[in-house]
Every structure is written in structure tokens, then in C-alpha cells.
Amino acid sequence: MKTSTRILCLVTVLLFGLSLLLIIGTDTDWGKIEVTRMTLTSADGDEISALLYKPHSATPDNPAPCVLYCHGGGDMLEQGSSYAVELARRGYVVVSWDYTGCARSDIATGRSETANGAISGLPTMGGETVWNAIKLYNFIDHSKIVTSGHSMGGQYSMAVAINHQEEVFLQVNLGMNIYGSADNHEHNFNFALILGDSDESCLARTNNDVKGLFQVEQLKRIFFGDYTTAAADLPEVKIGETYTATGTNGKEYHRACYMPDSCHAYYLVDDQAVQTMVYAITSEVGVGLDEGVKSWADADKISLVWKIKDIGFIVMLAATICAMFTMASFLLGTVAFSKLQLKPQPAIACKKGSWMWWVALAALIILPVALYRPGVLAQRNFFGINISKLFLLGGTNNTFISWQWMVSIGMLVLFLLYHFLWGRKHGGNAKTYGFITSNEGGFKPSYIGMSFLFGLFTVGCGYLVFSLISSYTQQGMHIATFMFNTIKPNRTLCILMYFLFQIPYFLTSSLAMKSIGIGEGDDSVKGTLKTTLLGTLINLGGVFLLWLIFVIMVNEGNTVSSIGYFKNDRFYISTIAILPLAIGMTVANALNIFMSKKTHSMWPGLFTALMWGTWMIISTGGMTKYVY
């Protein structure tokens, strides 16, 4: 084993241990909380995956208040980690769940969780199953149950609260102003609404007037318990004040709304968002309120540790990536896989610094970002063809694929222009473009097979490391909007389909990169790393810049809709998706370029990138169907 491979192996082991320490340590408050992954069963027999945080202080003799938390659209339960960690260490039992069809929860086979409630007008999406489970726990104070959720999860948790009025103590809506059917005049529970002033969803829905959402008719009626007075005659709801309303049962309930400086909850979560969530719950329940915090104005005094776990998630990802490069380096040193390393081919790129080289470079940077919006909007109709039935997943996952397809067309056009204007005249052929499978010439299927196995073993090693960390932490990984998980068996068909769907992108981008010489030149470790970093920067730098502009615009300007590019067709949601796309595709492109450069053939890198990209896309998010 080479020294570099030994070093990579050692680094992987260290990262593995550090990730466990940071994630488990923060989750358990260093031994004071028990964390348990639960698989519940709905009334229809479908699995609902949930995570239980149980403080050791919560016992039958000393029951603790309980918070039920539902994540936002197409996300996973780990999205609520920051809130779960902070509340659990303050003495709360917390249960978060993957809502129906997301991450590790089954697609609904019946209507028990997906039908609109008779009173609420909203589905519960696994919430009823979680409710039935926690009602059995003797370590919970059943008079202090809090339901809460982010965005779409706010709707589903609101449905649970309305279905179980007078049993629910408090409902907290985070980043969502949906309160159930307007015909429902019963909200017999305490209620808090949290909307960030730079919440991109709210900005887009209100023409940049998030404060206006606190004055909508239905919210005013809930706040003042008045369902008869004309909406225009109801008082204005003031942010940060606590109101008292009389329920239909004659009891009094508190109402409050808060507006922290944050984005759409899980997206660029900041301390103020978490502190506001913690304050909204602890101040109403009366348990776990930090010393010196008398009102929301003091919320910045609330101590936080959630970022330690996020660092653990980042280390978890780093360990996974490091494991893949370790395995790749090891395999290339074995007798069987060393045969994948072929002789270097003649350089055929445009002359560096020539006008053609600069044009190709500009096109490689511009095409991915220029085609992002058209690609995202083509997820249902691709050039007039309805492709929605091709997808087994829902939502954001498919925006990645449709973007890739659009970029593939652009990259193919770029490659063909390069080939006919330059490459063909300078020795460009299938062999020099990376399709080579033998030093002697000719096409060898065995090389393709070994390349496939190389990619499978390389990414498989990363999957093994990730799975081991996941088994100990009992969860996947969630960094801002970047989600990652092990693959549930009922998503097996997705592996095949989304593997095939991504071939055009990785194939054409590899070919287009030939125009500027990515993959050629210095074969040393330093040269390979330099080429890998340069290639990923070129491929995704422009897209990341688009995301950065959006983030600055939202955070600093508190605006989305002033620029129609982001507002139309709810494109702001797809702009949020750039961050996970950039992270995931950066790793995929790095693997692709690194392996292709080390072997002087595109096949090992292509299969490795495809394996990683498929895992990234299908492991989380919502499912629409398991089979066609």
C-alpha cells in the first residue's frame, strides 16, 4: 500500500471517530439524553420513520413536556436537528418524523394520513401515527404536548393540533402561514407563528412584505378569537406581543408571533431562528427557559450548541469522501485494477490562451448557470414532451436531472464544435477523447466491466463508512439544504433509473472538458489535485455564484420578487436547491476527473461519478411511486 493511501486511510478513520463524537455527543448532551430511531406503523400498515429524543430526567414519576416536529417539503427528519437538540437538552422529549413518502417513511397505501381532515382541511402525513405512539409513553406530560413544523410540516402539524384540540398544549408554525380550513373556528390550543424577515418563501408570496402575513384575516381571527367581526375592523397583530383569546370551550389561550432575522427555517438556519423557536416553546410551556430571558427581546441570551452537530455532519461527509478516494487509490494499486491505468494519450486541447480556448472556457462556466432555470422548469415538460411519468421521485430531486439533461445538450454542442473546429485536425478521436479501453487498441468489454466494479467498490466503500456512522448516530446527514442518507430497499428501482438518467450529463461534460485540457498534463498527486479542483470550479463555479447572489439578495436586501428571474414559477425554491446540487456534483465531478486522470480513460471516472450521483439524488426526498 502506498504511503499516500495509508495517510488517506488514517485520515478517514480520524474523521469517522470525530464525526461520531460530535454528532452523538451533541445529540445526547454528552450522555444525558437517549436517542432512539423508531419505525412506527400507520393505520394503513405503512412505515413512518421517527427519531425520539428522551432526556434521562423524563420518567414516569417526572414526566416531561413533549414536542412533535415535522420537517418541510421533500426534506427529512434530520432537518429539525437544531431544534431537537436544543429542546431535548432543556428537558423536553422530542419526536421528529419523516412525513409520509419522504426519506425513510413509506408512500401511503391508504388515506389515513393523506386525506384532508374533516375539521382542519389538511392531511397529517404521519402525524397521527406519531400522536398515537406518544400517547402510550408514560414519561411524557400529556398536558404539555407541543406540535410544530416547518413550512409544509407546519400544515401537517397544524392538522394534528386541530384534530386533537384541548389535548395539544401549543402549536408552533415555523415559516408557514397556513392555519387549516377557513371554515374552522376552533383553535383550542396555544399558538405561535414564526416567520423570518428574509424567509424567501414568504418574500416571494407577499411581494417582499413578510410582515403583511401577520395581518391576514384567518390569523387575526385566531389571535383574537373573533370569527364574526369584519376582518378590516379587527386590531393589528403586533410582533413579539402575547395575546389572550377565548376558545370555543370557554378557556383562555395565548397567541404570539415572532419575526427573527432568518431564512426559510432549514435554509441557512441561524442562531436567531433557533433561539426564537426555543423561546416560543419554553416561554409558553414554562420549562427550560434560559436564565435572564424575560421576553423575546432577551432571546439572544439563549445558549446554543446545535452548530457542533452540524460540524459533525460536515465531518461525516468528509469521512465518506475520504473513504472513496482511499479505496480508489488502494484499488489502483492492486493487480486486478491496476490494469485500468492506461498509457497517456496525446494532448488535443485547444492551445492554452488562444481565442478558442478562452471561448471554450467561458462556455463551460456559463452553460451550467445559463441553462439552470430552463433546465429546472423543464422537469415536467422537456422540449414539449411530458416527462413527469419518467420520475419515481418528486420535487427537487427531479430538478437536478432536468438541469443535467439541459446542460448535456449544451455540452454536447460545445464538444461537437470543438471537435470539428479543432479536435479532429489535431488527432481527436474516440481513443484520445477517453473512450479507450486498451493500450493495444480495439474495444474491450472487460475494461468496461472492471470500470463499473471500480466505481461500485469505490463508492461502496464511502457508503459503508457512511452507513456505519449512520447506524451509530441513528440518522442520516443534513447540512443546510444538503441531505444524505442510506438507501431504503424500496427505492431499489430508483438506483437503476436515476443511474441511467445521469449518464448524459457526466458523459458530455467529460467530453466538453477535453476542449481546455482538463484531464491532460501532470500526472503527479499535486497535478491531479490541481486539475480536479480546477475542473470542479469551472463546472460548477457559475452555478454557485448564482446561489451566492440569491443568498445575498435575500439576506441583505430582504427581497426575492423584485427580480422576476427568481420569483416566477416558484423558481426561488429551485435556487435554494443549488447548494445541495453544488456540493453533491462537486464531489461527483471531482471523482470523475480524478479517476479519469489517473487511468487516462473516462470509464472509471464516469462510473464512479454515476454511482455517487445516484446515491446523492435518491437517498432522500419524497417518493411518488416505487415502480412504474
Sequence-distant (6+) residues with CB within 8 A of 139 are 54, 58, 59, 60, 63, 64, 93
**What's the alpha-carbon Rg for the chain, to the nearest Å?**
26
In the three-class reduction of DSSP (H, G, I as helix; E, B as strand; rest coil), residue 428 is classed as coil
In the three-class reduction of DSSP (H, G, I as helix; E, B as strand; rest coil), residue 240 is classed as coil
From residue 470, alpha-carbon distances to 51, 312, 316, 337 in Å are 13, 12, 9, 29
Reduced to 3 DSSP states, what percent helix, strand and coil does the chain have, rounded to the nearest 5? 55, 15, 35
* The pLDDT value given to residue 435: 95
In the three-class reduction of DSSP (H, G, I as helix; E, B as strand; rest coil), residue 65 is classed as strand
φ, ψ for residue 217, nearest 5 deg:
-55, -50
Closest CA to 270 of 194, 171, 196, 193: 196
* The pLDDT value given to residue 536: 84
Gap between the Cα atoms of 7 and 416, Å rounded: 41
b/e sequence 106-144, b meaning 16+ C-beta within 10 Å: bbbeeebbbeebeebbbbbbbbbbbbebbeebebbbeeb
Q: How confident is the model at residue 3 (pLDDT cuts 50, 70, 90)?
A: confident
* The pLDDT value given to residue 555: 83
Sequence-distant (6+) residues with CB within 8 A of 340 are 332, 447, 450, 451, 454, 599, 601, 603, 604
In the predicted model, what is the mean pLDDT of residues 611-616? 96
- Higher pLDDT, residue 495 or 536: 495
Phi-psi label, residue 30: left if phi above 0, alpha if psi -120 to 50, beta otherwise: left
In the three-class reduction of DSSP (H, G, I as helix; E, B as strand; rest coil), residue 366 is classed as helix
Q: How confident is the model at residue 177 (pLDDT cuts 50, 70, 90)?
A: confident
In the predicted model, what is the mean pLDDT of residues 182-206? 91
* The pLDDT value given to residue 572: 78
Q: Are 48 and 100 in contact (CB under 8 A)?
A: yes
518: pLDDT strictly greater than 90 = no
CATH superfamily of 32-304: Alpha/Beta hydrolase fold, catalytic domain (3.40.50.1820)
Q: What is the pLDDT of residues 282-314, one digit of tens each?
A: 999 999 999 999 999 999 999 999 999 999 999
Enumerate the H helices of 78-171 as residue ranges.
81-88, 127-134, 152-163
Q: How confident is the model at residue 523 (pLDDT cuts 50, 70, 90)?
A: low
Residue 33 is inside which H or E element, if any?
strand 33-41
Closest CA to 455 of 332, 620, 303: 332
- Higher pLDDT, residue 463 or 381: 463
* The pLDDT value given to residue 265: 52
Gap between the Cα atoms of 330 and 376, Å rounded: 38
* The pLDDT value given to residue 528: 76
Q: What is the pLDDT of residues 543-586, one digit of tens each?
A: 999 888 888 888 888 888 666 677 666 777 888 888 898 999 99
Q: Which amino acid makes up residue 335?
A: V
Gap between the Cα atoms of 69 and 80, Å rounded: 7
* The pLDDT value given to residue 78: 95
Gap between the Cα atoms of 390 and 43, Å rounded: 30
Q: What is the pLDDT of residues 28-58, one digit of tens each?
A: 999 999 999 999 999 999 999 999 999 999 9
* The pLDDT value given to residue 178: 86
Place of cell 426555543: 278
What is the residue extent of each domain of the chain?
32-304, 352-618
Gap between the Cα atoms of 171 and 162, Å rounded: 9
φ, ψ for residue 90, nearest 5 deg:
-100, 10
84-98, 143-157, 526-540, range with the lowest pLDDT: 526-540
Gap between the Cα atoms of 275 and 298, Å rounded: 10
Gap between the Cα atoms of 316 and 322, Å rounded: 10
* The pLDDT value given to residue 562: 63
Gap between the Cα atoms of 426 and 549, Å rounded: 40
Phi-psi label, residue 286: left if phi above 0, alpha if psi -120 to 50, beta otherwise: left
Gap between the Cα atoms of 620 and 490, Å rounded: 12
| Burial group, residue 67, by CB count within 10 angstroms (0-12, 13-18, 19+) | buried
DSSP per-residue codes, 468-536: HHHHHHTS-EEETTEEE-PPPGGGHHHHHHHHHHHHHHHHHHHHHHGGGTTT-S--SHHHHHHHHHHHH
Percent share of the chain, pLDDT over 70 = 97
First to last CA, the chain: 46
In the three-class reduction of DSSP (H, G, I as helix; E, B as strand; rest coil), residue 254 is classed as strand
Gap between the Cα atoms of 543 and 537, Å rounded: 10
DSSP 432: I
* The pLDDT value given to residue 563: 65
534: pLDDT strictly greater than 90 = no
How does the average pLDDT of the chain come out, rounded? Answer: 93
136: pLDDT strictly greater than 60 = yes
234: pLDDT strictly greater than 90 = yes
* The pLDDT value given to residue 570: 73
400: pLDDT strictly greater than 80 = yes
| Burial group, residue 9, by CB count within 10 angstroms (0-12, 13-18, 19+) | middle
Neighbours of 242 (CB within 10 A): 15
**Dihedral of alpha carbons 416, 420, 422, 428, sign:** positive
